[in-house]
């Protein structure tokens, strides 16, 4: 009988991530985590699997899970799913554990899953890094969220001027729709006039003012020839909406003044403007100006999700990828106030605000602008194995370096010294410790500095060449090895 051999393959939308990207991602996450913890956000970990009802992902009027999640039934015929985001799990935690100190400030990083059509740079499993404050209505928490995003981006090397945090308020949007006659947003239904208007506004960045006007009225034909049906709004109804979209993103106080003239007598709209003004006062107190944080009326975000201020972090620069193509990144994260999510569990409103950084998209940007050190290993020193008679000596050298807190690898392959140098070079290991019979007899070791002589090292093909040229290499007494290695690595 022919033996079955499974085919090595990946499920669509998933990927294997190797050391180089993982190490760069860890560099980035460590910097972001440092900022989160500076603000007092404590780590939390929740499972990747939740009940579908926890995620709020049942289809309307049905017990069938939404098609956009990975769902399955357990042994009790209950619907389970991979988490869609990290916020739903946080809401469940806040409802489940009654003794959690409020305000509850948490940060969490982990993979989330979307059963959506995969494509280039669009995966079904990706990482998010969230921070949230649960249990306060204060706009200081929302202002702080904007500051955290600024500080995190600058910490990882995105200079001021190359990013913007755009802020809006869903209450102002509600006020504009009320003033226009469209009516207030009803998040209990996905197909109200107001929700469809929000979807049109959300396309503003892609289709411009003319395109939004067409969607609100008679409809439009996109570049592919597809016709999108219009909402049939009248000129009187769309007038405040179009005026709202043209407010722009200048001085934050001026933006609030313009919005106030548009929302008119709408109580909820005025409340949203008051909240933006309060956020602005906090930002000015802390020194965050319009070059970092702007008020942008076109920001919509999570249609049935947010209840107040919303913010979006965007990268404003363009770069060329490895094929010379110009690439822009746009949004790499955002969030806002969601006072109703915990209410789903308890029936009581629990104020909450927070944001999420899209780890994979941000990592791609940092790689292209060279903000991260690209390495395929965390090893700092390779101990070369040149002489079989000294294998125990090599092991002891490696142990001594590890005991001093230096990441050290003992070469365990079967290559000669040239091959070992090439191995270290390919892995971008900075230093190689080299010793043969002569060195051990003299009580000294050789240190090869590949950072200083990486190109020369490629020419070393055999031990004889190494013994003759010894490029970017120096001797050190055996007892001084640890101190010299630390000095060379700036430890």
Phi, psi of 371 (to 5 degrees): -90, -5
Per the domain annotation, does 192 fall within a domain?
yes
124 contact partners, CB below 8 Å, separation of at least 6:
12, 13, 14, 70, 113, 114, 115, 116, 118
CATH number at residue 142: 3.30.930.10
Residues 438 and 363 in one domain: no
Distance CA 279, CA 277 (A): 5
Let me know whether 349 and 394 are in one domain: no
Please give the radius of gyration of the chain, using alpha carbons only, rounded to the nearest integer: 29
Extract the residue ranges of the chain whose pLDDT is less than 70: 59-62, 185-191, 303-304, 452-471
Whether the bond into 43 is cis, omega within 30 of 0: no
Residues 6+ apart with CB under 8 A from 141: 103, 133, 353
Give the CATH number of the domain where residue 419 resides.
Answer: 3.40.50.800
- Is the same domain home to 175 and 322? yes
Which of 311, 337, 368 terminates a domain? The answer is: 368
Residue 349 lies in a domain: yes
CA separation (Å) from 384 to 213, 389, 463, 475? 69, 13, 12, 15
Predicted structure pTM score: 0.86
Domain membership flag for residue 13: no
Instruction: Report yes or no on 64 lying in a domain.
Output: no
Same domain, 335 and 405: no
Final residue belonging to a domain, choices 368, 399, 427: 368
Alpha-carbon gap, residue 467 to 373, rounded angstroms: 31
Of 405, 429, 431, 413, nearest in space to 488 by CA: 431
Q: How many CA atoms lie within 13 Å of 407's alpha carbon, on the beta-carbon side?
A: 7
Residue 126 falls inside a structural domain: yes
294 with 400, same domain: the answer is no
Q: What is the pLDDT of residue 318?
A: 83
Please report the pLDDT score of residue 304 as a whole number. Answer: 67
Structural domain that includes position 156: 19-48+83-368
What local confidence, expressed as pLDDT, does residue 184 receive? 73
User: Are 287 and 386 in a shared domain?
Assistant: no
pLDDT of residue 457: 46
Q: Are 356 and 393 within one domain?
A: no
- Report if residue 62 sits inside a domain: no
One DSSP character per residue, 261-310 reads: HHHTT-HHHHHHHHHHHHHHHHHHHHT--TTTEEE-TT----TTT--SEE
- Looking at residue 459, what is its pLDDT? 56
CA distance to 14, 318, 365, 367, per residue, from 325 (Å): 25, 10, 14, 15
Number of domains in the chain: 2
Same domain, 422 and 297: no
Same domain, 334 and 394: no
Query: Within this chain, do residues 204 and 172 fall inside the same structural domain, yes or no?
Result: yes
Q: Establish if 77 belongs to a structural domain.
A: no
In this structure, are 317 and 449 located in the same domain? no
Same domain, 460 and 350: no
432-445 confidence digits (pLDDT tens): 999 999 999 999 99
Q: What is the pLDDT, as a whole number, of residue 346?
A: 87
pLDDT of residue 237: 85
4 in any annotated domain: no
Looking at residue 452, its pLDDT comes to 67
The whole-angstrom separation of Cα 24 and Cα 395 is: 29
Single out the residue in 368, 389, 410 at which a domain terminates. 368
């Amino acid at each position: 009988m022919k033996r079955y051999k499974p085919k090595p393959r990946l499920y669509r939308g998933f990927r294997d991530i190797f050391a180089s990207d993982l190490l760069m991602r860890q560099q980035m996450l460590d910097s972001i985590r440092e900022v989160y913890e500076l603000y007092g956000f404590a780590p939390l970990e929740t499972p990747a699997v939740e009940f579908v009802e926890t995620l709020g992902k049942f289809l309307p009027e049905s017990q069938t899970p939404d098609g956009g999640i990975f769902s399955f039934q357990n042994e009790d015929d209950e619907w389970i799913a991979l988490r869609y985001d990290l916020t739903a799990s946080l809401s469940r935690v806040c409802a489940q554990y009654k003794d959690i100190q409020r305000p509850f400030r948490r940060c969490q990083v982990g993979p989330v899953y979307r059963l959506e059509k995969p494509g280039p740079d669009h995966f079904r499993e990706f990482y998010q890094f969230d921070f949230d404050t649960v249990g306060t209505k204060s706009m200081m928490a929302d202002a702080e969220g904007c500051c955290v995003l600024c500080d995190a981006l600058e910490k990882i090397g995105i200079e001021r001027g190359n990013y913007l945090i755009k802020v809006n308020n869903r209450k102002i949007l509600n006020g504009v729709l009320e003033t226009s006659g469209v009516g207030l947003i009803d998040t209990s239904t996905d197909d109200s006039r107001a929700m469809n208007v929000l979807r049109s506004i959300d396309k503003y960045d892609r289709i411009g003012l003319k395109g939004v006007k067409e969607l609100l009225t008679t409809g439009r034909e996109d570049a592919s020839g597809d016709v999108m049906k219009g909402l049939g709004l009248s000129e009187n109804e769309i007038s405040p909406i179009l005026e709202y979209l043209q407010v722009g993103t200048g001085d934050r106080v001026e933006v609030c003044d313009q919005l106030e003239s548009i929302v008119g007598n709408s109580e909820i709209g005025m409340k949203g403007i008051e909240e933006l003004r309060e956020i602005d006062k906090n930002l000015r107190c802390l020194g965050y100006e319009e070059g970092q944080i702007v008020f942008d009326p076109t920001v919509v975000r999570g249609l049935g999700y947010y209840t107040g201020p919303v913010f979006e972090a965007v990268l404003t620069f363009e770069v060329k990828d490895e094929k010379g193509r110009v690439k822009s990144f746009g949004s790499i994260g955002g969030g806002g106030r969601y006072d109703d999510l915990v209410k789903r569990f308890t029936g009581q409103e629990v104020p909450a605000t927070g944001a999420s950084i899209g780890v994979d998209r941000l990592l791609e940007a940092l790689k292209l602008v060279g903000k991260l050190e690209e390495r395929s290993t965390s090893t700092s020193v390779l101990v070369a194995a040149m002489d079989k008679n000294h294998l125990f000596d090599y092991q002891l050298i490696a142990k001594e370096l590890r005991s001093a807190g230096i990441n050290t690898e003992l070469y365990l392959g079967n290559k000669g010294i040239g091959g070992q140098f090439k191995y270290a070079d390919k892995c971008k290991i900075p230093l190689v410790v080299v010793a043969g019979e002569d060195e051990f007899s003299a009580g000294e070791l050789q240190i090869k500095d590949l950072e200083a002589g990486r190109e020369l090292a490629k020419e070393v093909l055999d031990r004889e060449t190494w013994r003759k040229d010894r490029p970017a290499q120096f001797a050190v007494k055996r007892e001084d090895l640890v101190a010299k290695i630390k000095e060379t690595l700036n430890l």
